[in-house]
Each structure stands twice: as C-alpha cells, then as structure tokens.
A and B are shown apart, each in its own frame.
Chain A
C-alpha cells in the first residue's frame, strides 16, 4: 500500500453499504409513524373521551337519576328552553337535602354554599370550544335524547365524557340524524329503545317532526 493513498482521502467502511437499504426503509417507516402518531394522538377519540374531573361533591347520577329515577329536568330545568342546560342552584340540592342526609360530610360543600350564598365550584365535563354555539333546547325539543351526547349518565357514579363532541362527530348526526331521533317526550328516558328498525322509525320521526338539521357553518359558528 502506498503512503499517499492514506492521506487526504476517506474511504467509507464496507458496513456503510447497509445504510442504503436501511435509509430506504426509514423513508417509508418514519412518515408512516408520524401519520399514525398524529392520527391517533390528536384524534378527539383520544383527547376528548374519558374526561372525568373530580367534583367538589361526589354527586352520584347513578343514585339520583338511575336508582331514584329523578328526571334529568328536575335539576337541569332550563334544558328545554335555553341554549344552556343549567347546573342546578344549591337550592335544588337542598330541596331534599335539607331533610335527607343532613349531617353527611360529603354534602358539607352544599350546606356551606347554601349558608354563604357562594356557588359550589362544580367542574364542567362537557365543554365545547368557545366558538361553538350549541343549543340544548333546539335538540331536546326535536327529540335528540340526552343519552345521544352524554351517554348513560344514569349509570355513572362520576360523570365522564363518553363521546368525542368534535365537529366531525356533530356532522355525522347532522347529515344522518335518523338513528339518533326519538319522540320528544322520551328525550330523558336513558334506556329508551326504538320500536323496530331504528333507521325506519327515525325516518318516520324525521318526517313527522320536520327535522332538517343544517350543515352550514353558521348553524354552530357565528
């Protein structure tokens, strides 16, 4: 070997030949990985579903709405006339709890709120972005049941978000509402099932109640 060959020239070692096929594979695998990561990681199914905040009072919908069968509207009484389904004032809790479980430590924040007039800091579970103007009354009065968006709240000890509540999810129903419709007087019946085929029955209801959900931008965004 001559001395001159060793100076001023670099020879790739033989193993670098492997890098070419490795690089080819990486060019396919890495973009695919990024796509999968974004598609699943940023999907509302991952980011939105399963939100279950700790509430100041361990109020059980399973007991009140499920076991005792109290109608949703007993507490959320604005849902049929307003955009916002109101959280009940402390007075509504005290309708019963002035007489029932009057010394329960779990209910202490309720009694404190009633005595001081300061609101109970309930944590909102189903919270849409501020540029969305969802109207409860428009849906409830046309026969979209509570359960369609909120799930079986009557079986939840702690309320959890079970649906995506994303724009695509809203549009699924706005484009094809039939399987999500029921007679308007059944909206709060969580265990209601349509008689017969949901599709056919939904089509009848849609016709009877003249339901034409809009898919225009301005329906939900102003």
Chain B
C-alpha cells in the first residue's frame, strides 16, 4: 500500500475529530456570539417585536412614546380622588376603593416587591437596599422614612398615594412602575403596617385577648 494513502487516511480521521471537539467545546463553554441558525425558517422576520430596535427613528425605538399633549383613549383620568389621591378640597381622607381582604393581600405582595427593598418588610426604613446604601457611606444617600412616626401615621391616604405616585424628597416616583389599583392596595397595606406596629392589647378583639397571655 502506498505510504501517501495511509497518511491521507490518518490525516482525514484526525481532521474528522475537529468538528466533534468544537461541538464538545460549545457544550461546556459560554459564548458571546448569538447562536448560528442553520435553518432559518423565518426565525428572524422583518417585523418589530415589543421593545425591539427600529433604526428608522432617531431614538432607535420601535415602540413610539406618547405624543406630548395628547391623551390616549381610555386614559383620561378625570376622577382625581382615584387617580391622584386629591380632590379640589385637598387630600383624600378615605379610600376611594373598597378595602377588602383581597386588596390587603395584593397590597402586601406589591409592597414586598416595590417598597420593601428600601423601607423594609415592616416599614422601619431598614430594607436591604437602604442598608447597603448606608454601608457604602457615599454621602449621597438619605435613609428612607419609617412609617412608624406620628407624622407619617397622620398623613391622609391621598397623601401617601401621591407619595408613591410622584415621589417625595429623595424617593423617586413609582407611578410609572406600579398601576393605580396596586398603589391603592399598597396604601392600604401601609396603613395595616402602621396599625400593627402601634397596637395595644386593647386593640385585639376581646375574644382573642386571652391568647395574648
């Protein structure tokens, strides 16, 4: 058998191992390159999906922001008490929504998501983000308020709603992040937190008071 043929066969066998080695490597390492689609099958269509980019516009967004000075259908928020926590007479004092067990549970869940990082699960202003900001000692941070002061306890519900919606002092506005119904649920839960931390034995229903001992 000619030498060349044997060498060729050995070389071919060695080369055939390279793709297998590449596959093995691809399976154990990460890659910054998007996957190669061998069969395209309309996997990438010339359409714009949510939050995708469109170079046609100067800001590169496919989703267009609202035109200033316009109101989208269904977004004319005329009921000031519900949408702003405020009436021409001042802050709303009573909840413009029915305070139910369901609302309270929703409020707790939303509070834990959006408020607890700074204000803490019980509302003392000791959330993990506030603690870390304190530990960094950068001088740009103002600790969040505790809800358990006379000042905050006496705030009207409309005021607290407005604080969530538009922010106050160093707290940013959470209106864009939390839907209105959820903001009222959070206000209800904040009220519950305040009562829970400022309760006396006499606040407990008489039939349950014996269990406290």
Listed in ascending order, the chain A residues whose CB lies under 8 Å from chain B are 15, 18, 33, 36-37, 40-42, 45-54, 67-71, 73-74, 77, 82-84, 86-87, 89, 91-92, 94-96, 98-102, 117-119, 121, 127, 129-131, 160, 185
Distance in angstroms between the alpha carbons of A40 and B24 in the assembled complex: 9
Query: Any chain A CB within 8 A of the CB of B211?
Result: no
In angstroms, Cα B38 to Cα A84, docked, is: 26
- Name the residue of chain A whose CB is nearest to the CB of B5: A15
Q: How distant is B116 from chain A, measured CB to nearest CB, in Å?
A: 8
Give every chain A residue within 8 A of B43 (Cβ-Cβ). Answer: 129-131
Set of chain A residues within 8 Å of B140, measured between Cβ atoms: 99-100, 102
Verify A42–B41 contact, CB threshold 8 A: no
Residue in B16, B30, B128, B177 whose beta carbon sits within 8 Å of that of A68 in the complex: B128
Residues A37 and B19 in contact in the complex (CB < 8 Å), given A84-B50, A100-B133: yes
Complex partner residue of B27 from A45, A53, A160, CB under 8 angstroms? A45
SS class, residues of chain B in contact with chain A: loop
Residue of A nearest to B177 (CB): A77
Q: Beyond A15-B1, A119-B59, A129-B41, is A50–B31 a contact (Cβ under 8 Å)?
A: yes
CB distance from B87 to the nearest CB of A (A): 28
Q: List B residues 1-35 near A (Cβ within 8 Å).
A: 1-2, 16, 19-20, 23, 26-27, 29-35
Q: What B residues does A87 contact at CB under 8 A?
A: 51
**Cβ contacts under 8 Å, A48 to chain B:** 35
Min Cβ gap A172→B in Å is 19
Distance A69 CA – B178 CA, assembled complex (angstroms): 19
**Contact between A73 and B113 (Cβ–Cβ < 8 Å)?**
yes
- A91 in contact with B176 (CB, 8 Å): yes
Q: B31 — which chain A residues lie within 8 A by C-beta?
A: 50-52
Known: A41-B19, A101-B136. A92 touches B26 (CB 8 A): no
Contact at A95–B38, with CB atoms within 8 Å? no
Closest to A16 in B: B1
Inter-subunit contact A99/B141 (CB<8 Å): yes
Among B45, B51, B178, which residue has the most Cβ atoms of chain A within 10 A?
B51
The answer to the question of B73 belonging to the interface, with a C-beta cut-off of 8 Å to chain A, is no
In the bound complex, CA of A91 to CA of B166 (Å): 13
Top 5 nearest A-B pairs by Cβ distance? A129-B43, A52-B30, A84-B50, A130-B45, A15-B1
Q: Does B172 contact A (CB under 8 A)?
A: yes
Q: Which residues of B contact A77 (CB under 8 A)?
A: 177-178
CA distance A54 to B38 in the complex (A): 23
Interfacial chain B residues near A46, Cβ < 8 Å: 23, 26-27
Q: Any chain A CB within 8 A of the CB of B49? A: yes
Kindly provide the distance from the CB of A95 to the nearest chain B CB, expressed in whole angstroms.
5
Interface 0/1 of B177-207, CB less than 8 Å to A: 1100000000000000000000000000000
